[in-house]
Amino acid sequence: MPWGIEYYDEKLQAAVLALPPGILARYVHLTDRMVEYGPDLGMPHTRAMGAGLFELGLKSGEGIGRVFYCTLVGRRILMLHQFVKKTEKTPPKELTIARKRMKERRDADA
């Protein structure tokens, strides 16, 4: 049974679709694989960030994008937050946004 991809909100979905073309192409390719094989594609594609939060790494000639996601009951993958990296380390602000959204959605689903 395939996995489903959901978005935190329509604004996030629009932001993901507005990523630079090369980064978006990687996103589409990797999420197609996630639907078929599940949310854990392994390094360097996916990485556990702790407490149920995961990071999808998107590299292309235009730069490096990141999309944070979590899983929900019923084989659902919830995309929480995206950004294009400008520094080597992930900015704490970006992680905070993703963790807050994950908690909101999981509390609502409980």
32-89 residue pLDDT tens: 999 999 999 999 999 999 999 999 999 998 889 999 999 988 899 999 999 998 877 8
Class of the 4-109 domain? alpha beta
Domain boundaries, the chain: 4-109
For residue 48 the two structure tokens come to 């556990």
CA 78 from centre of chain: 7
Kindly report the pTM of this predicted structure: 0.92
HEC profile of 45-105: CEEEEECCEEEEEEEECCEEEEEEEEEECCCEEEEEEEEECCCCCCCHHHHHHHHHHHHHH
For residue 25 the two structure tokens come to 């192409």
The Cα 61–Cα 92 span in angstroms is: 25
CA 62 from centre of chain: 18
